[in-house]
Amino acid sequence: MATLFGPALQPLALRGREFGLAYAAAQLIHVGLLVWILVITSHLPLSGKPFVFFTVALVWTYLLAFLSFGKLSEALGIWGWRMLRIVALNYILFAFAIDFVPALFRPGPEAVQHPVLHLVAYVPFATMSVAAPLLVLAAAAHRRLTLRFSHVGLAPVIK
């Protein structure tokens, strides 16, 4: 975000670890609720392939959180840590999109009863799921253009 929108967002960019740990903490509440549903109903809300798919996203979340403490990520090396982050974050983003985007277009019965609440609940997350990869690609293109043309005194128009 700071690459695209300038130094005003740099403080947010520097807090990536804290945002990730906050997300992992929020997921812990989500997992607790799923366990509670399991205890009171004696069956999981998800089973089969969806259960495996979202469990893998959860494992990626906590692996990133675990490796963010101390110097654990250094054991992977700079490129290993970077690749792990790219794969894990994209998988988590994909799981997020699978969860929120289809629900926006194929709402369940609760959406018919409360359509405004359904939109308020799903639109922000569906939008972020679609916007995130586009912003990452735009930032990568911006960095690439800046590097490519900076040696001849040219730079992208957007700074």
pLDDT in tens, 92-147: 999 989 988 887 777 777 777 778 888 888 889 889 988 999 988 888 888 888 77
How much of the chain exceeds pLDDT 90, in percent?
45
pLDDT computed for residue 151 by the predictor: 62
- Residue 155 binned pLDDT confidence (cut-offs 50, 70, 90): low
pLDDT of residue 150: 63
DSSP per position, 78-133: HHHHHHHHHHHHHHHHHHHHHHHHHHHHS--HHHHH-HHHHHHHHHHHHHHHHHHH
Measured CA to CA, the distance from residue 132 to residue 137 in angstroms comes to: 9
At 5-22, the pLDDT tens digits run 778 888 888 898 999 999
pLDDT of residue 80: 94
- The distance from CA 145 to its chain's CA centroid, rounded to whole angstroms, is 26
Q: Residues 64-77: what's their mean pLDDT?
A: 92
